[in-house]
Amino acid sequence: MNVLLKEWVGDFGLPPFAAITDNDFGPAFEAALAEARRNIAGIAEAAESPSFANTIEALELAEGSLDRVAGVFYNLAGADSTPAREALQRDLAPKMSAFSSEVTNNKALFAKVEALWQGRDGLQLAPEQLRVLTLYRQMFVRAGAVLEGEAAARLTAVKSRLAVLGTQFGQNLLADERAWFMPLAEADLEGLPEFVVAAARAAGVEKDAAGPVVTLSRSLIVPFLQFSPRRALRQKAYEAWVARGANGGATDNRAIAAEILALRDERAKLLGYASFADYKLEPEMAKTPAAVRDLLMRVWAPAKRKALADAAVLEALLQADGVQGPLEPWDWRYYSEKRRVAEHDLDETVLKPYLGLEAMLAAQFDCANRLFGLEFRPLDIPLYHADARAWEVTRRGEHVAVFIGDYFARGSKRSGAWCSAMRSQRKLGGDQRPIVVNVCNFAKGDPALLSYDDARTLFHEFGHALHQMLSNVTYGFISGTSVARDFVELPSQLYEHWMEVPEVLEKHARHYKTGEAMPTDLLKRLLDAGSYDQGFATVEFVSSALVDLAFHEGAAPADPMQKQAEVLESIGMPRAIRMRHATPHFAHVFSGDGYSSGYYSYMWSEVMDADAFAAFEEAGDPFDPATAARLEEFILSAGGSEEPDVLYTKFRGRMPGVEPLLKGRGLLQA
């Protein structure tokens, strides 16, 4: 029997990674899809009258084998791709879309869901059950269950094509990132800190190059842009980085982006919406494109003022170096780093030895222990890659979750950082405890030393992990991070705040060689510079979010690159800053529709996370037990059991304004 379909009887029901081969996945998906289809048909065709148990709860359990197989495969496909896995991803995209459409297009099944919804007042449902029923009906309706004939068939075809295109977009991007590297001569290493040199040499080994190289991994190219005094090399590396997905040939994503936008617009029109943004934002906290634009523009104006003021300072530094001409995008990070050293006496090469990966892992675990009583025990078990590590998570001796961390960049891993679950928490059908995965792309080293941004990323993804681990609901449909897109970033961005708590840094930010704590004056300078360069960072982000919104709130643009240029011109984008994610490599928006019309959600959540951490500050203790208990009860354990604004108000007593965000980014005075 296929190892993926057997009962997993090892420790904590973990997948038997050592026994799984790429050849197992295809047959396992076929068998699991067939089983799911049989289960769905049984629910739809059952003669008895619909009940919450025989319809909604049965649907919750109908795809159990498929969930298990997909939970393993898609995690591995993102973190450790192989040609076989990429081929299977392409094959699966239309098949999985077809299965999803079969379910939501099943008229007999939808009739049962609709009957329950219409008669909900007489069902005596618990609040969580009513919420699940509401969301199931919403899912069916938004997927086109009420459409008939040609419209229903066309929507199915559109969704299938979108699934294929999203997979292709992501694989093209990975191919571009994997293929490009820039060899460095020994002379090109002059001026680079030792940690950058070490990362470049390690990358050269991975690429089978004759010496050190710069790759398009963010953990290598960003510090290279920060520290390399060789402007021509910075320009070459930067232009390759921003050209991902736009290099012509088989991996060019520009035509794919145009087709995706046209199909999304058609999808929205088939469902009766004025635009895809109207369709996508309806179930989110923001609700409307106008609300999103209002938030983004309230932040854009002060961010742009700050960025332009900073650009003038950096351009003066550039010209003081004897360079004639304006500040360019490949200059910003280099001169900003110089300015940071001059104004804040903060040198990344001095800072990084105190931010070792092991120390920061200990810090994130320690904070989780102090806030929520969680304990983390390393596990010596086989995983899917030698770089991956695992911990058992317990509380008061009771098993809570298994946490897997996969932290180092490699050619088989897509870029970025993310949290996923190989298994989500639920109580229905047995007390299922989660298997949660954090994936990052840090530079490997001996030891691995993090930048301050890397350390924030580590805490960010662990905040998502806590949302999964501490989930305490009955139904998987609303478990963990199954919440509105503009609410899902609240736990992750909130957790970043604990990395900046002085007592946390005093305890854990210790020199990897000497074990000495970060000097008090260095710690103070670090915290004082917390909002340094936030004009740049905010402009990078908000411009990307505004382009995403513009793509989806009107008719689909025939040429997305032209539309991108028009949006940037209309808002007066500073010339020395580019979008954080240009269209051809905007994976958040085009590798799937999770963040389409939704890239703003990081900032929407940041409005809440700044206010949420203020609750601890107001209590006089960043680890205040009562505030932590409310945070767990109403945010981290609640999943999608209630509307997010209801949950947040229960935690905080009110909804926040934008001022804490502007204050945190140092933009109030801009």
Active-site amino acid positions: 461
Alpha-carbon distances, residue 417 vs 218, 459, 545, 597 (angstroms) = 10, 11, 19, 20
Residues paired with 402 in a beta bridge = 392, 435
b/e per residue, 275-293, with b = 16+ CB within 10 A?
bbbbbbbeebbbeebebbb
The DSSP H or E segment spanning 406 is strand 398-408
Q: How far apart are CA 241 and CA 552, in angstroms?
A: 25
Alpha-carbon distances, residue 333 vs 214, 225, 249, 628 (angstroms) = 16, 6, 31, 37
Q: How far apart are CA 334 and CA 328, in angstroms?
A: 11
Alpha-carbon distances, residue 254 vs 219, 242, 607 (angstroms) = 26, 13, 33
Omega into 519 within 30° of 0, i.e. cis?
A: no
Contact yes or no for 29/69 (Cβ under 8 A): yes
Strands 435-442 and 398-408: parallel
Instruction: List, in order, residues 6 or more apart from 27 with CB less than 8 Å away.
Output: 2
> Which SS3 state, helix, strand or coil, does residue 558 take?
coil
Write the DSSP assignment of 504-557 as a string of letters: HHHHH-B-TTT-PBPPHHHHHHHHHTTTTTHHHHHHHHHHHHHHHHHHHSSSPP
Closest C-alpha to 631, from 432, 396, 450, 367:
367
Q: How far apart are CA 361 and CA 457, in angstroms?
A: 12
Alpha-carbon distances, residue 446 vs 432, 442, 450 (angstroms) = 38, 12, 12
Residue with tokens 């961390």: 405
